[in-house]
Structure 1
Amino acid sequence: MEIRFQTKEESNKQQQEEFLKLSKAERFYSFLRLSERMSRFPVKNKIDKNKDNFQIVIEPRNK
């Protein structure tokens, strides 16, 4: 493991350069791996405001 002290801009530039060195197929697989890791990323649960609500539907009468 290597520890580097660099700015965020330097780090982003280095990551971009390393990514662009990959072949098109490797970039695609890297994207898929990232997408899969993001799907497991913890997120705040959304509150469904209408969860405990109910609706009364009155059908119109045919004349």
Structure 2
Amino acid sequence: MRTDPRIRFETKEESNARREREFMALTPWERLALYLREITRNPPTREERGEAKGNFIIWKRADGVRG
């Protein structure tokens, strides 16, 4: 019986190291695209946002990019 390749049995440290290696193997543009996709799926809470901290903020326009 074969196991599903999407299922992994690893420690948290192993998982974090693997995820970091996979992320760093991407090009800078792929990293940015992945970040923007993930931030859209799971937006930060008000406390996690940077407004109160003075951080740089990227705003996504609802109407997309105009050319």
TM-score, normalising length: structure 2: 0.55
Residues 1:5 and 2:9 are matched in the alignment: yes
SS at match of 2:42: helix
TM-score, normalising length: structure 1: 0.58
Q: Percent identity?
A: 41
State how far apart, in whole Å, the 1-side matches of 2:8 and 2:35 are. 25
Residues 1:36 and 2:36 are matched in the alignment: no
Give the length in aligned residue pairs: 41
Residues 1:22 and 2:23 are matched in the alignment: no
Structure 1 vs Structure 2 CA RMSD:
1.8
- Runs of 5+ unmatched residues, structure 1: 44-63
Deviation at 1:38, TM superposition (A): 1.0
**Equivalent position amino acid for 2:14 in 1:** E
Instruction: Specify which structure has the bigger relative contact order, considering alpha-carbon pairs within 8 angstroms and separated by 6 or more residues.
Output: 1
State how far apart, in whole Å, the 1-side matches of 2:8 and 2:21 are. 16
Higher alpha-carbon Rg: 1
- Runs of 5+ unmatched residues, structure 2: 46-67
Deviation at 1:4, TM superposition (A): 1.4
